[in-house]
Structure 1
Amino acid sequence: MTAPAQAALRRTMEKESRTTRFCLICNYISRIIEPLTSRCSKFRFKPLANQIQEERLLEICEKENLKYTKESIAELVRVSEGDLRKAITFLQSAARLNIDKEITERAVLEIAGVVPLKMIDHLLQICFTGTFEKLEVAVRNMVDEGYAATQILSQLHESIIEQDLSDKQKSAITEKMAVVSKCLSDGADEYLQMLSLCSVIMQHASQNN
């Protein structure tokens, strides 16, 4: 919700407080304006364990008579990152996409908008050994394919941690990732932000060559 919409909600909450109780669910409490947070009791929930998510998803599949593979359930757990609500939403979308068919790992990946690992690896390879011109093309292609910049950022973070870089280099890159994440949440241009991040990765990766 935008700040003006939240301000309007504040007035509604004040007016209807005697007869109505409001429950606000969010991922980033910092995005909720202070007049609203001050009127609410805050409950913070940790990500659910993988086993708990898997058991719940299997229960849903059984009751809804859904066909699935073991790999698809494991992938649902992985891409939801402890958010059962997200996992159930992905499962529902995959079921609608594959009516009367088996829900596969590939279908889950498409629904979740996960970037194929080969594309992430290709992007990092250009950052490590390519030119800026090739980097521009690779980033543009990923954005044009419809992959969310936040998803690319998340997967890049996982890959960078596994790279053969010094702690100082990883620290500088992840610090830039934090800045890019904040800019994206504020509505910045996805292409420019990803290009900026990849340029920093290229800069630090060149120090190893």
Structure 2
Amino acid sequence: MAVATPWVEKYRPQHMEDVVGNSDTVARLRVIAKEGNIPNMMLAGPPGTGKTTSMLCLARDLLGEHYQAAVLELNASDDRGLDVVREKIKNFAQTKVTLPLQSQHKIVILDEADSMTGQAQQALRRTMELYSNTTRFAFACNNSHKIIEPIQSRCAVIRFTKLTNAEVLNRLMYVIEKENVPYVEDGLDAILYMAEGDMRTALNCLQATHAGFGLVNATNVFKVCDQPHPELVEGIINACVTKKSLAEAHKELARLLSRGYAPADVISTFFKVAQSSQLYPSEDLQLQVLRIIAETTMRIAEGVGSQLQLAAMLARIVTASLQLSP
């Protein structure tokens, strides 16, 4: 029986012209691929936006058939210590490799570079200087502030942002067509809602729903992704804001929690749903509700993730509704 390939890998772009989203950033990388003069680079942005993929595509376009020998890819989440810099990276930088005419540099790609230890980063800046004639470094990270200043100053910083829903949907439709996935429109809307501009999450969600249920619709997507359905959360907020009934809101919340959702999952969906201005009679009330949800999120993030926090949040929303409703 053949092992199914994750669609994230199966449909990962191989060349710069295939990369989706961040058009201005990708255009800069295409110029580098065309001219061949690659600087040290730091690619920063949220997960699933194409940082590592873009760098691999750039390396492939630059190096062609020499890609395997001239590229060292390390995930700094695993390989992040001082010995990695001293051994793996330095040995690679010292190795002589035949390169194509358009590129005179080997490439070291460090994924999740913001997980590297401070010592490893300090050692790396010296390596970058010593082998600058033969080797270029590319750092992919979510939080650029965790990279030390000396490394940042040696790199061209390239920012990635979350993909738009249209860009994610375009790629999803391409995969759906290739894999013959049955779907309905609300299923795609649910995937976009879950992904929030993260292409990796969107493709994983699509594949998991298709594998688990066959049909991609909203109900199946929320079941697979283990997130509370927004309509249930909207019903709870309506009970607080419109009906001003704490008893009904508690009843709906208990029903939601009985399905096994953790408070952290519930509160994140509350925040997404609460941003819809159609739920409130006034903007002042919406601001107050968002503030209450934000404070509860902070407490849950600090480790106080009990159902009591959610119950108190509902009570405060009802109180605000009674005070601010016309």
Question: Which residue in 1 is equivalent to 2:260?
Answer: 146
Supply the distance in 2 between the matched residues of 1:69 and 1:57 (Cα, whole angstroms): 13
- On the 8 A contact 2:233/2:270 being kept in 1, the answer is no
Q: Which residue does 1:24 correspond to in 2?
A: 112
Q: How many pairs are equivalent?
A: 197
Structure with greater strand percent: 2
Q: Per-residue deviation at 1:11?
A: 4.8
Equivalents in 2 of 1:156, 1:198: separation in Å?
A: 14
Take 2:278 and 2:250, find their aligned partners in 1: how far apart are those partners?
24
Take 2:191 and 2:142, find their aligned partners in 1: how far apart are those partners?
25
2:147 partner letter: T
Q: Letter of the 1:82 partner, please give it.
A: G
Alignment check: 8 A CA contact 1:120 1:155 kept: no
Pair 168,68 (structure 1): closer, same or farther in 2 beyond 3 Å: closer
Inter-CA distance 175–9: structure 2 relative to 1 (3 Å threshold): farther
1:76 partner letter: I
Q: SS at 1:74's partner residue?
A: helix
Instruction: Give secondary structure in 2 for the equivalent of 1:22.
Output: strand
> Hey, what does 1:49 align to over in structure 2?
164
In structure 2, what is the equivalent of residue 111 of structure 1? 224
The 5 A counterparts of 1:27-42 are: 36-38=146-148
Question: Tell me, what secondary structure is at the counterpart of 1:67?
Answer: coil
Q: Which residue of 2 aligns with 1:164?
A: 280
Task: Give the alignment of 1:164-183 within 5 angstroms.
Answer: 164-183=280-299
State the alpha-carbon separation in 2 of the partners of residues 151 and 109 from structure 1: 14
More displaced, 62-71 or 172-181? 62-71
Structure 2: how far apart are the matches of 1:188 and 1:88?
33
Cα distance, 1:142 vs structure 2: 1.8
Name 2:191's counterpart in structure 1. 76
Q: Is the 8 A contact 2:267 2:293 kept in 1?
A: no
The 2-side partners of 1:146 and 1:178 are apart by 22
Q: Percent identity?
A: 15
With over 3 angstroms needed to count, the CA separation of the structure-2 counterparts of 1:53 and 1:156, relative to structure 1, is closer
CA deviation after TM superposition for structure 1 residue 21, in Å: 4.3
- For 2:274, the aligned partner's letter is H
| Distance in 2, Cα, partners of 1:138 & 1:194 | 12
Q: Which residue of 2 aligns with 1:3?
A: none
Q: If each structure's helix is expressed as a fraction of its own residues, which one has the higher value? A: 1
Structure 1 residues 86 and 125: alpha-carbon distance in aligned structure 2, compared to 1, 3 A threshold = same
8 Å CA contact retained: 1:139, 1:191: no
What is the TM-score of this pair, normalised by structure 2?
0.50
Query: Residue 150 of structure 1: CA displacement?
Result: 3.5
Cα RMSD of the aligned pairs, angstroms, is: 3.5
**1:93 shift after superposition:** 0.6
1:90: Cα distance to partner? Answer: 0.4
Aligned residues of 2:230 and 2:273 also touching (Cα < 8 A):
no
Rg (Cα) greater in structure: 2
Alpha-carbon distance in 2 for matches of 1:202, 1:25? 45
Q: Is the Cα contact below 8 Å between 1:68 and 1:102 reproduced in 2? A: yes
Worse-matched range after superposition: 9-18 or 141-150: 9-18
Report how far residue 106 of structure 1 moved: 2.5
Task: Find the aligned partners of 1:188 and 1:150 in 2 and give their Cα distance.
Answer: 13
Structure 1: 5+ residue stretches without partners:
1-5
| Cα distance, 1:188–1:156 mapped onto 2, change above 3 Å | farther
CA shift at 1:167, angstroms? 3.2
Which residue identity does 2:267 align to in structure 1? Answer: T
1:163-207 CA-to-partner distances (Å, cap 9, x unmatched) read 334333322221222222233333331523322322221111112
- Aligned-partner Cα distance in 2 for 1:44–1:186: 30
Find the partner of 2:175 among 24, 38, 60.
60
Contact 2:236 2:253 in 1 (8 A): yes
